[in-house]
Amino acid sequence: MNWKQKTLAAAVFAALSIPAHAQTGGAGPAAKTQESSTTDTEARGTNREEMLLGFLHRANHREIELANLAKDNSSSRQVKDFADRVIKDHQSADEQVFTFAKNHNIDLGAMHSRVSAKEELTENERRSRAVGSATGEYAFMAETGAGEEASRAMTEYKATLEKLRTLKGADFDREFARAMVKDHQMLIDRVTRARSRINDPELTGLVDKLLPTLKQHLSMAQKLQDNLSKS
């Protein structure tokens, strides 16, 4: 072996002796930071997608709960017909949400329990004048990251539900129509904001299928409110 061959062999051996992480930079501070940043970004994206599904699931159940109350407390045929439509459409929407979650290994039941616990904590904070400190699941519902908005929405929903339970007849009908307008406008706004922040094309496709029904409900509720104000 001549001196050129010996030199080349020594260089190859030296290169192969360098640890893999030194060649790739995988263990360097910059690489670790980049890897951590990528992981955090992916986790946030996944979290947003799961939280949006959880929010849709809970919103469906709340609208169904209000509509069932209308079937019991209303004396108006048009109110009861609208309630039937709300129940049918939100049950269908929830089946789609549940199927999507199941196909993506997301446990909506466990998420419901976590968010319920967060709701209770948020309500306690609100009562102790610590509104705005809620984080995580329930804060995502507001899509702005502001726990105060989520807390306010939760409190208003509970107040509306309790008020409706005490009303009958025309008084119930007017309050129910008002609640349906407000709730569906809130749902449309939050789901639209959430859609702009998720990366999963399948989930955006699901949202695009559900939004038109929410908008139709809003239009129907506004018309119902208008009709009731004239009666």
CB of 220 closer than 8 Å to CB of 176: no
The pLDDT score that the predictor gives to residue 177 is: 97
The pLDDT score that the predictor gives to residue 112 is: 65
Is residue 31 included in any domain, yes or no? no
Alpha carbon distance 5, 43 (integer Å): 51
Is residue 1 included in any domain, yes or no? no
Alpha carbon distance 140, 51 (integer Å): 7
CB of 160 closer than 8 Å to CB of 186: no
Can you give the C-alpha Rg of the chain in angstroms? Answer: 26
Q: Per-residue DSSP letters for 191-208? A: HHHHHTT---HHHHHHHH
CB of 116 closer than 8 Å to CB of 130: no
Residue 226: partners with Cβ closer than 8 Å, 6 or more residues away: none
Q: In sequence order, which ranges of 74-168 are alpha helices (DSSP H)?
A: 77-103, 108-127, 137-141, 147-165
The pLDDT score that the predictor gives to residue 230 is: 85
Is residue 165 included in any domain, yes or no? yes
Is residue 225 included in any domain, yes or no? yes
Is residue 80 included in any domain, yes or no? yes
Please name the amino acid found at residue 227: N
Which CATH number goes with the domain that contains 100?
1.20.1260.10
Is residue 39 included in any domain, yes or no? no
Number of domains in the chain: 1
Is residue 196 included in any domain, yes or no? yes
Range of the domain at 196: 50-230
pLDDT in tens, the chain (231 residues): 544 444 444 444 344 343 444 444 445 555 444 544 444 444 444 588 888 999 999 999 999 999 999 999 999 999 999 999 999 999 999 999 999 999 999 988 877 676 666 666 666 666 665 444 444 444 444 443 445 666 677 788 889 999 999 999 999 999 999 999 999 999 999 999 999 999 899 999 999 999 999 999 999 999 999 999 987
CB of 186 closer than 8 Å to CB of 167: no
Is residue 190 included in any domain, yes or no? yes
Q: Which residue has the tokens 């020594």?
A: 10
